[in-house]
Structure 1
Amino acid sequence: MTWLITGGAGYIGAHVAKAMVASGEKAVVLDDLSTGVPERLPAELPLVRGSSADRALVDRLMAEHAVTGVVHLAGKKRVDESVERPLLYYRENVAGLGVLLEASVAAGVRSFVFSSSAAVYGVPEAETITEDTPCAPISPYGETKLAGEWLVRAAGRAHGMSTACLRYFNVAGAAEPALADTGVHNVIPMFFDRLTRGEAPRVFGDAYPTPDGTCVRDYIHVADMADAHLAVARHLTGPGTRGDLTVNIGRGEGVSVRELASLVAEVTGNGTEPVVEPPRTGDAAKSVASAARITRELGWTARRGAREMVESAWEGWLLRHPQAARR
């Protein structure tokens, strides 16, 4: 069996690709390299540069590599950008997904894993978010992920594909420094970026109904995330597996932004006190996953804690910003 991993040179994608290859799975990566880094990938893993919305390219790639399963990680991922450019997000995340699914059906693909997001839930009032918590996305990004889930499930039912939708919570850390997040849109690299530039980390809001007044989030180590993808992929190809699976990918534990800032201070040795800025529109006070379903059905559970996420992310940051160690 050969897996096509779209967006496989990205931060999460490279971890998934590495985990699958290390476990003996055969794979090929498709990435337009808009944010992906080819050097992240194992040398033996084929990389094709291009878009998963390019039907002719995908048809040719699937035929040449005898693809029978897809892990779809490519897509636009920034909530703020989606508000400013909703047409782009619907084109890339929904229309592009439709093209990939059409190609998958034509090629006889039997298994399809879709990268979804906790953004599908919006701002739920639930203390712990289960897969049965009502979905009410509040951004175009979240809307496109929910629409993508609908499309994946419908295509699976209509064409006999086994499908899985993985609702990511907050991904952090790195399995090794070279695979670290190169962007500064997630909270931990945002903290690192400010400290490296000699500026105080920013905390958005400190009057939420939480123990320390800052938002509480469920952070999941990207290496655990990769292991979850491998477990799901193998589940879909197991004997007699049919139908669809929707699961949260998180630790089931909350960490506040202020607690995270304290961990960053300990790990970096930079105790610059965070500055509090006005809360951002749409930020939920608390967003913590229940990961009971994936544990029950697949036996997967997260193994790494918040400190490991910060420490591994810092090692990756120092690889690209060695001057940060001197501050």
Structure 2
Amino acid sequence: MTWLVTGGAGYIGSHVARALAQAGLPMVVIDDLSTGFESFVPDGVPFVRATILDGENLQRVMQFHKVTGVIHVAGYKYAGVSVTRPLHTYQQNVTATATLLAAMESCGVDRMVFSSSAAVYGTPPAELVTEETPKSPQSPYGESKLIGEWLLADQGVARGLRHTSLRYFNVVGSASEDLYDASPHNLLPLVFAALVEGRTPRINGNDYPTPDGTNVRDYIHVADLAASHVAAAQRLDAGVTIEPAYNLGSGSGSSVGDIMRTVAEVTGIAFTPEIGARRPGDPARIVAAGDLAARDLDWKMRHSLREMVESQWIATRRAAQPSEAG
């Protein structure tokens, strides 16, 4: 049983790949390296540099490596930027997913773990989101992830695809010092870059209807997220019952202000963030209950907010060090 990990050279995908390797599950990684790094792929794991928009190549990869399941992490993940790049977002997240599913159908690959998002909920009416909370995405990114879930569900009805979608929001931390988040849009990389360069970090809005005026989110450690992807894959391999979607949520959440205060403590750099305008399509609060995932996918918050920030700071500083090679 071999798993294809799409986007497996990226920040999240590489953590999933390493967790699969630690669990002894064979895999092949495909990534176009638009945001990932080949060095992130675990040693000894076959790597294919390619886009998942190429359906014929996907079929060749699946056939050659005898793929039986797909963990689909690849995608365009920037909610705020998606508002100004909707067509690109749909191409990368909807067209690519449909292409991937078609290749799977052609090759008889019948199981998928889909990396979805809490952005499918938009700004939910309840304080705590469950899997049954109405879906009302507020950005092309959130819409594209919801469409992806619909595609999986339709293939389940039409072709017997066994699948689950994992919904989460802000992923932080590092499970290894050589794996870091290089995103130009995610909060912690932006904050760390500013501090290293001697600039004051900037946050988007402090006038939201939250206790400190900043966005409240589930911040979850990337290693905990990866562990639940592996548990979902194992559950699909075992043929046991699995829910169509799971929230990987903290149940409580943290604000951007909480993050800023923790960054100051971890780095030892005192600062007061500059306040910018709200980002379009950015809800005030999304906090999810993770009860179903805890029941089925070994989901739990194993790391404190400080541990998340500290591990990412260590990985970021290591990445910034000049190479000793040459």
- TM-score class, shorter-chain normalisation, is over 0.9
Q: CA deviation at 1:178?
A: 1.0
Q: Which residue of 2 aligns with 1:139?
A: 139
Q: Which residue of 2 aligns with 1:53?
A: 53
> Given residue 151 of structure 2, which amino acid in structure 1 is its aligned partner?
L
CA contact (8 A) 1:153 1:244 kept: no
Q: CA deviation at 1:41?
A: 1.4
Between Structure 1 and Structure 2, how many residues are aligned?
322
Q: Distance in 1 between matches of 2:238 and 2:43?
A: 28
DSSP 3-state at the match of 1:98: helix
In the TM superposition, what whole-angstrom CA distance separates every residue of 1:38-58 from its partner, at most 9, and x where no partner exists?
Answer: 111112100011011211111
Q: Which runs of 4+ in 1 moved over 4 A?
A: none
In the TM superposition, what whole-angstrom CA distance separates every residue of 1:174-193 from its partner, at most 9, and x where no partner exists?
Answer: 10121110123111111111
Q: CA deviation at 1:305?
A: 1.6
Q: Distance in 1 between matches of 2:296 and 2:41?
A: 30
In the TM superposition, what whole-angstrom CA distance separates every residue of 1:122-168 from its partner, at most 9, and x where no partner exists?
Answer: 11121011111111111111111111100011112211121011112
Q: Which residue of 2 aligns with 1:219?
A: 219
DSSP 3-state at the match of 2:34: coil
DSSP 3-state at the match of 1:25: coil
Q: Distance in 1 between matches of 2:279 and 2:55?
A: 39
Identity of aligned residues (%): 48
Q: CA deviation at 1:92?
A: 1.9
Q: CA deviation at 1:209?
A: 2.6
CA contact (8 A) 1:184 1:190 kept: yes
Q: Does 1:245 align with 2:244?
A: yes
> Given residue 306 of structure 1, which amino acid in structure 2 is its aligned partner?
L
CA contact (8 A) 2:228 2:298 kept: no
> Given residue 277 of structure 2, which amino acid in structure 1 is its aligned partner?
P
In the TM superposition, what whole-angstrom CA distance separates every residue of 1:267-287 from its partner, at most 9, and x where no partner exists?
Answer: 111002212223333332221
Q: 1:243 to 1:290 in 2, by over 3 A?
A: closer
Q: 1:160 to 1:243 in 2, by over 3 A?
A: farther
CA contact (8 A) 1:131 1:247 kept: yes
Q: Does 1:120 align with 2:82?
A: no
Q: Distance in 2 between matches of 1:10 and 1:123?
A: 28
> Given residue 267 of structure 1, which amino acid in structure 2 is its aligned partner?
V
User: Which range is displaced more, 271-280 or 305-314?
Assistant: 271-280
Q: CA deviation at 1:203?
A: 2.6
CA contact (8 A) 2:224 2:299 kept: no
Q: CA deviation at 1:77?
A: 1.3
Q: How does 1:31-46 map to 2 (within 5 A)?
A: 31-46=31-46
Structure 1 unmatched runs, 5+: none
Q: CA deviation at 1:249?
A: 1.4
DSSP 3-state at the match of 2:238: coil
Q: Which residue of 2 aligns with 1:306?
A: 305
Q: Which residue of 1 aligns with 2:165?
A: 165
Q: How does 1:88-127 map to 2 (within 5 A)?
A: 88-127=88-127
Q: CA deviation at 1:37?
A: 0.4
Q: CA deviation at 1:242?
A: 5.6
Q: CA deviation at 1:243?
A: 6.7
CA contact (8 A) 2:121 2:135 kept: yes
In the TM superposition, what whole-angstrom CA distance separates every residue of 1:216-248 from its partner, at most 9, and x where no partner exists?
Answer: 111000000100101111111114x36752011
Q: CA deviation at 1:322?
A: 4.2
Q: Which residue of 2 aligns with 1:260?
A: 259
Q: Which residue of 1 aligns with 2:9?
A: 9
Q: Distance in 2 between matches of 1:189 and 1:17?
A: 22
Q: Distance in 2 between matches of 1:86 and 1:279?
A: 19
User: Which range is displaced more, 23-32 or 159-168?
Assistant: 159-168
CA contact (8 A) 1:7 1:30 kept: yes
> Given residue 15 of structure 2, which amino acid in structure 1 is its aligned partner?
H
Q: CA deviation at 1:250?
A: 2.2
CA contact (8 A) 1:161 1:243 kept: no
DSSP 3-state at the match of 2:136: coil
CA contact (8 A) 1:162 1:242 kept: no
Q: Distance in 2 between matches of 1:63 and 1:291?
A: 36
Q: Which residue of 1 aligns with 2:152?
A: 152
> Given residue 42 of structure 2, which amino acid in structure 1 is its aligned partner?
P
In the TM superposition, what whole-angstrom CA distance separates every residue of 1:95-116 from its partner, at most 9, and x where no partner exists?
Answer: 1111110111111112111111
TM-score by length of 2: 0.95
Structure 2 unmatched runs, 5+: none
DSSP 3-state at the match of 2:70: strand
Q: Distance in 2 between matches of 1:281 and 1:81?
A: 9
CA contact (8 A) 2:112 2:163 kept: yes
User: Which range is displaced more, 245-254 or 31-40?
Assistant: 245-254
CA contact (8 A) 1:210 1:216 kept: yes
In the TM superposition, what whole-angstrom CA distance separates every residue of 1:48-97 from its partner, at most 9, and x where no partner exists?
Answer: 11011211111111111110000111111112332222122212211111
Q: Distance in 1 between matches of 2:167 and 2:151?
A: 15
> Given residue 167 of structure 1, which amino acid in structure 2 is its aligned partner?
R
Q: Which residue of 2 aligns with 1:292?
A: 291
Alignment root-mean-square deviation, CA: 1.5
> Given residue 132 of structure 1, which amino acid in structure 2 is its aligned partner?
E
DSSP 3-state at the match of 1:70: strand
